[in-house]
Amino acid sequence: MTQSKVESLNIAGMHCASCALLIKKSLESTKGVETASVNYASQKAVIKFNPDIVDNSTLISAVTASGYRVVAEKIDEAVESRLYRTRFFFSLLLTLPLIVSMFVMIPGIFWIALVLTTINVFIVGRNFYLGFWAALKLKTFTMDSLIAIGTFSAYIFSLLTNTHHYFEVAASLVTFVTLGKWLESLAKAKTSAALTKLIDLSPKLAHLKTDKTYKDIPVESVKINDYLLVKSGEIIPLDATVVSGSSSVDQSSLTGESIPVDLQAGDKVFAGTQNLTGALEIKVTSDSKNSLLSRIIKMVDEAQSTRAPIQDLADRISSVFVPAVLILALITFLVWQFILKSPFDVSLLHFLAVIVIACPCALGLATPTAIMVSTGLAARFGILIKGGEALQNTVDINAIAFDKTGTLTTGTPIVTSFKNFSQLSDSEILKIAYSLEINSAHPLAKAIINYSQSKNITASDFKTKNFKTLPGFGLQMEIDKDKYFLGKTKSSQIELTK
């Protein structure tokens, strides 16, 4: 029996939760597809299928048939946000003259309104009509259906009655829906910044060891068992084993542990962590796609695309919401027109009001957006959530167990107390410590520097030279001909001059 395959597709063009339902319906109607999950917020589809019956090209065709595009890379939310911003302000520019005409008489306003509304409805709002048409071909309705029917009804009524009064209704609807899309894209862009921050932990270049020297190459080009050089202060590019050298490595980006780990030959290092002190020669053990950091990034990305159980309920309600709204709007029109004997334009106004109030469907947007925003925000603070189901189950948590690695701290060391056992004054001791640590990038050095600065120690007139980092022990330097060491108290490798 052939094992099922799972494929993830990046989809462009979705602009409401009903778009996701439409794509899901198209995919699941494809022979060989077992299940399809489409997340509007993350713009992704995850499909489980039989590879003997269906392949990737067929899946892509199913998405295309529903009126959307499959793209190689996920669309940058910041770019999408700028696009919606441009559309909104352009739509607003076209709508404002129509709103002004409600209060000020403008010569030839009908023809002006006709041109402005035509551009607004059929160019700015083009995607709504494309979505409506794609839904019709699949014999279903989406939120695009409501927007398209509402705007087109108002547009046609103004055109047939030779009055401009309903042009602004159609134009305003496009403007306000576009504003909502822009605000929504801003929230998604902020969320994606958390994932981008994780991705940016890995450097773009690595120092590859050749016969006699080192050559900078893209990290993606590095192969397993290649030898790399990681200089002091640099980010480790890939998971590897230390071949030679010793250093302190800040692993807080992965573990949350604020105190650096002392490493030497034979120890493992991980992509995204920072080499603080000595240079390291490392042997690569995994490529860029399979490093621990890459797996974490993939997990966060998948978490944003997963569905919470409550979303199935929301989708079932959303699937009947649009037809229900259209039926209700039609009933409203018939009641006002034939029972209450109202003028046609009044009946149409109430028909449009029902449709406008229903756009967009907050129920369909709420769950996927909440999952994406919450998992993204959590990732920004170093909290990784497995997926929507785990997130929903947090409501039942009544106790939390934390490990011993400083999980409940801010992750930044600070000096909590200072005791002076020498004959020097506190100020002199802090000046010496400041002069030593100002040359170091170690987190503990930063803590001492910050503490010294809080005591108004910012610089000294000491003559310093021969600064040296001692990986795993501390650092030393000559100050006014005396040699000072700052670090671990037990070290047979340090000789001090009194």
Q: How many Cα atoms occupy the beta-carbon half-sphere of 325 within 13 Å?
A: 25
Regarding whether 182 and 165 lie in a shared domain, the answer is yes
Tokens (6 digits) for 451: 């503490």
Q: pLDDT per position in the chain (498 positions), as tens?
A: 678 888 889 898 887 667 887 888 889 999 999 988 887 767 888 899 998 899 999 999 999 988 888 988 766 677 888 888 999 999 999 999 998 888 888 888 889 999 999 999 999 999 889 888 877 877 877 778 888 888 898 898 888 877 767 888 889 989 988 887 787 777 666 666 666 676 677 788 899 988 778 889 998 889 999 999 998 888 999 999 999 988 888 887 787 777 788 888 999 999 989 888 778 899 999 988 888 888 877 777 766 666 667 666 655 666 687 788 889 999 999 999 999 999 887 888 888 888 777 755 555 556 666 776 777 777 767 677 766 777 778 888 898 877 665 556 666 788 888 888 888 888 888 888 888 888 777 778 888 888 988 888 876 667 777 777 776 677 788 877 788 888 876 554 445 433
**Structural domain boundaries, residue 338:** 83-197+299-375
Count helices and strands (H / E) in the chain. 15, 16
User: How is 184-219 classified by DSSP, letter by letter?
Assistant: HHHHHHHHHHHHHHHHTTS-SEEEEE-SSSEEEEEG
Say whether both 174 and 315 belong to one domain: yes
User: Which residue, 88, 94, 99, is CA-closest to 168?
Assistant: 99
436 lies in some domain: yes
pLDDT at 305 (0 to 100): 61
- CA-based nearest residue to 191, from 380, 9, 386: 380
Q: Bridge partners of 367?
A: none
Q: Are residues 138 and 174 in the same domain?
A: yes
**Integer-rounded Cα radius of gyration of the chain:** 31
CATH of the domain at 51: 3.30.70.100
**Looking at 211-302, which runs of residues are DSSP E strands?**
214-218, 227-230, 240-244, 247-250, 261-263, 268-269, 274-275, 280-284
Q: Are 360 and 16 in contact (CB under 8 A)?
A: yes
Residues 303 and 218 in one domain: no
Q: Among 290, 325, 353, which residue terminates a domain?
A: 290
Same-domain pairing of 95 and 185 = yes
Residue 32 lies inside a defined structural domain of this protein: yes
Of the three residues 262, 290, 318, the one that is the final residue of a domain is 290
**Domain count across the chain:** 4
In a domain, 403, yes or no: no
Per the confidence metrics, is the pTM higher than 0.75? no
Give the pLDDT of residue 478: 81
- Whether 397 is covered by a domain: the verdict is no
3-state secondary structure of 280: strand
**Looking at the structure, do residues 227 and 278 belong to the same domain, yes or no?**
yes
pLDDT of residue 306: 62
Catalytic residues: 403
Judge if 116 and 35 occupy the same domain.
Answer: no
Q: Is residue 88 part of a domain?
A: yes
Virtual torsion, Cα 59, 300, 368, 50, nearest 10 deg = 20
Assess whether 192 and 104 both reside in one domain.
yes
Whether 50 is in a domain gets the answer yes
Lookup: tokens for 252: 């807080």
CATH number at residue 480: 3.40.1110.10
Residue whose entry in the numeric block shows the structure tokens 């573990």: 255
214 inside domain? yes
If asked whether residues 191 and 89 sit together in one domain, one would say yes
Considering 375, 410, 436, which residue would you say is the last residue of a domain? Answer: 375
Residues 36 and 88 in one domain: no
For residue 415, being part of any structural domain is answered with: no
Instruction: List all residues 6 or more positions away from 310 whose beta carbon is below 8 Å from its beta carbon.
Output: 367, 392
Residues 188 and 303 in one domain: yes
Q: Are residues 215 and 259 in the same domain?
A: yes
